[in-house]
């Protein structure tokens, strides 16, 4: 019975944890501009992250080392450092966006300007990392994140014509107002939002922190196979809400408040309140994960002690990186950058940098020295290789597309 509860808890946590500000913005923006013509990208993305997150978790359980730790070791310091620099930069953008997301969520219920809330938000994020036990963190924010299911309630309340919906989703076409270039650009953004690299860093480091072993592999798989698809379900609900409520009114999404508008309009005050709670939880959880990821990847590259599972005094440099990343994220936010723009850039660049994160996982997951007999089977390798080719193509196409479309204008 205890095992059952543990698994259920893990799955519930996973659902709430798999949507962040990138998903909120990308799915709402895409739904408002492209309706359902990019819905298929969400499905492609979720399969990709399932394949790679399962591998990352398996690497953590079998080798007792998180993936990034092994990148320098297995692929050399040159590649490792390039990887570190790029991943750290993109992670930093994401961290800034998530912290801003928390502040915005609070501002929506308090009407205090979100800029004023940035410092206290940063402090809270740091404080939770500093003092809250790992499992509590996951459980509380994961479960609170379930509030985002109100997006599904929104769609249900609208009661759309499902035949029409499925037809639209299954027959993707570039809308007349858009060009193939903006279509591709937003497709990449959606893909980047679905396959976020920091999830992998956090997932595999977390697995080592929680001391996963071979017997935890099934729990890992349950988390991954149930959690991510449900995250995709939420993403599609967000997209559908925007398609049905915002698109017909020519509303394009450039703020988090607009993401909540369909729910407010259709469901009412309670729905809106629940949704804002969900946004708070999702962005706060993601802020925790990205801040810790900053510490993880730097500490692991240089071989320092790291993690929440040791006295803070004994992982001083790790905690310093976490602290400074949060401070820098708050300062960057205070400079007045548009958090939505930062979010857009972070997900698009995440997509472009995916090969850096996923190629090492694939290499290590096939290495018997680290994996024992839990190396990849042929099906996993086949899928993973197909995705590797996809993300390499995306990596090549992203910067040109960003220039051609002027970042999706």
Partner 1 sequence: MTAGRVLYAGLRLLDRQMLDRDGVPCGNVDDLELTPGADGDALYVTAIHAGPGALLYRMGRRRLGAWLQWAHDRLAPEGEEISTIPFQHVRDLGGSHVTLGLGRKDLATFSQERWVRDHIIGPIPGSQHEAE
Partner 2 sequence: MRRPRWGVPASVAVLLLAGCVSHPVGPARTHGKYSGKASTTAESALSAVETARLSAQTGSRDHAFGPYLSVILGESEDAVTGVQGTFDSIQPPDEKADQLKQKLDDLLSTAADHLTNLRVAVRRGEIKGLEQLAAPLAGDAKDLQRFMDGLQ
Footprint on this chain of partner 1 (rule: CB under 8 A): 63, 65, 69-70, 72-73, 76-78, 80-81, 129-134, 209, 302-306, 308-314, 316-317, 319-320, 323, 369-370
Kindly state whether residue 311 participates in binding partner 2, applying the rule CB under 8 A. Answer: no
Backbone angles phi, psi at 118, to 5 degrees: -60, -50
Q: Which is nearer to partner 1, 256 or 322 (CB)?
A: 322
DSSP 132: S
Stretch that binds partner 2, among 17-25, 83-91, 206-214, 359-367 (CB under 8 A): 83-91
Neighbours of 271 (CB within 10 A): 21
Which partner from the list partner 1, partner 2, none does 132 bind, CB cut-off 5 to 8 Å by kind? Answer: partner 1
Stretch that binds partner 2, among 142-150, 185-193, 256-264, 300-308 (CB under 8 A): 256-264
Distance of closest approach, residue 279 Cβ to partner 2, in angstroms? 12
Kindly state whether residue 258 participates in binding partner 2, applying the rule CB under 8 A. Answer: yes
Cα 187-259-138 angle, rounded to 5 deg = 85
d(CA 288, CA 134) in angstroms, rounded, equals: 10
Kindly state whether residue 267 participates in binding partner 2, applying the rule CB under 8 A. Answer: yes
d(CA 100, CA 104) in angstroms, rounded, equals: 6
Q: Which is nearer to partner 2, 330 or 362 (CB)?
A: 330
Distance of closest approach, residue 158 Cβ to partner 2, in angstroms? 14
Token pair belonging to 119? 């410092």
Which partner from the list partner 1, partner 2, none does 407 bind, CB cut-off 5 to 8 Å by kind? Answer: partner 2
Residues 315-354 contacting partner 2, CB under 8 A: 335-338, 341-342, 345, 349
Burial code of 123-141, b = ≥16 C-beta within 10 A, e = fewer? ebbbebbeeeebeebbbbb
* Of the candidate residues 144, 260, 354, 384, the single one contacting partner 2 (CB under 8 A): 260
Report helix, strand or coil for 164.
helix
Q: Which is nearer to partner 1, 86 or 392 (CB)?
A: 86
Distance of closest approach, residue 2 Cβ to partner 1, in angstroms? 21
* Of the candidate residues 47, 56, 240, 245, the single one contacting partner 2 (CB under 8 A): 245
Which partner from the list partner 1, partner 2, none does 352 bind, CB cut-off 5 to 8 Å by kind? Answer: none
Distance of closest approach, residue 310 Cβ to partner 2, in angstroms? 32
d(CA 174, CA 141) in angstroms, rounded, equals: 37
d(CA 116, CA 112) in angstroms, rounded, equals: 7
What is the CA 128 to chain-centroid distance, rounded?
19
Count, residues near partner 2 per rule CB under 8 A: 39
d(CA 28, CA 81) in angstroms, rounded, equals: 35
Residues 95-154 contacting partner 2, CB under 8 A: 107-111
Kindly report the three-state secondary structure assignment for every residue of 23-59.
HHHHHHHHHHHHCCCCHHHHHHHHHHHHHHHHHHHHH
Distance of closest approach, residue 217 Cβ to partner 1, in angstroms? 19
Q: Which residue has the tokens 């977390």?
A: 206
What separation in angstroms does the CA of 170 have from each of 25, 37, 41, 239, 340? Answer: 23, 8, 11, 15, 29
* Of the candidate residues 77, 133, 160, 268, the single one contacting partner 2 (CB under 8 A): 268
* Of the candidate residues 254, 320, 327, 405, the single one contacting partner 2 (CB under 8 A): 254
Q: Which is nearer to partner 2, 24 or 260 (CB)?
A: 260
- Residues 321 and 295: beta-carbon distance below 8 Å: yes
Kindly tell me the burial class for residue 4, based on how many C-beta atoms sit within 10 Å of its own C-beta (0-12, 13-18, 19 or more).
exposed
Which residues contribute to the site for partner 2 (CB under 8 A)? 85-86, 89, 107-111, 245, 249-252, 254-255, 257-258, 260-261, 264-269, 272-273, 276, 335-338, 341-342, 345, 349, 399, 407, 409
């Amino acid at each position: 019975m205890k095992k059952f509860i543990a698994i259920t808890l893990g799955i519930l946590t996973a659902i709430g944890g798999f949507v962040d500000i990138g998903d909120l913005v990308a799915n709402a923006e895409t739904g408002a501009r492209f309706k359902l013509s990019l819905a298929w990208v969400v499905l492609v993305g979720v399969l990709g992250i399932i394949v790679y997150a399962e591998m990352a978790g398996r690497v953590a359980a079998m080798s007792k080392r998180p993936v990034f730790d092994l990148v320098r070791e297995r692929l050399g310091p040159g590649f490792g450092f390039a990887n570190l620099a790029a991943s750290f930069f993109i992670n930093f953008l994401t961290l800034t966006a998530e912290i801003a997301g928390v502040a915005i969520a609070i501002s929506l219920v308090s009407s205090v300007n979100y800029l004023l809330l940035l410092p206290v938000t940063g402090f809270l994020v740091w404080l939770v990392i500093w003092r809250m036990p790992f499992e509590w963190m996951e459980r509380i924010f994961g479960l609170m994140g379930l509030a985002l299911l109100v997006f599904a309630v929104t769609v249900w309340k609208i009661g759309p014509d499902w035949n029409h919906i499925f037809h639209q989703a299954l027959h993707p076409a570039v809308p007349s107002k858009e060009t193939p270039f903006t279509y591709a650009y937003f497709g990449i953004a959606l893909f980047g939002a679905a396959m976020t690299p920091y999830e992998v860093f956090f997932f595999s480091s977390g697995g080592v922190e929680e001391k996963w072993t071979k017997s935890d592999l099934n729990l890992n798989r349950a988390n991954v196979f149930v959690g991510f698809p449900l995250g995709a379900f939420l993403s599609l609900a967000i997209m559908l809400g925007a398609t049905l409520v915002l698109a017909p009114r020519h509303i394009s999404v450039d703020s988090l408040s607009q993401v909540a508008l369909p729910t407010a309009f259709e469901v009412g005050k309670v729905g809106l309140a629940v949704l804002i709670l969900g946004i708070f939880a999702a962005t706060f959880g993601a802020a925790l994960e990205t801040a810790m990821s900053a510490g993880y990847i730097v500490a692991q590259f240089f071989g320092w002690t790291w993690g929440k599972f040791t006295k803070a005094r004994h992982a001083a440099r790790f905690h310093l990186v976490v602290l400074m990343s949060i401070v820098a994220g708050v300062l960057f936010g205070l400079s007045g950058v548009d958090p939505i723009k930062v979010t857009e850039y972070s997900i698009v660049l995440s997509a472009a940098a995916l090969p850096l994160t996923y190629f090492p996982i694939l290499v290590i997951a096939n290495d018997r020295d680290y994996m024992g007999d839990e190396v990849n089977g042929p099906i996993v390798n086949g899928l993973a290789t197909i995705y590797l080719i996809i993300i390499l193509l995306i990596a090549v196409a992203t910067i040109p597309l960003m220039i051609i479309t002027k970042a999706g204008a």
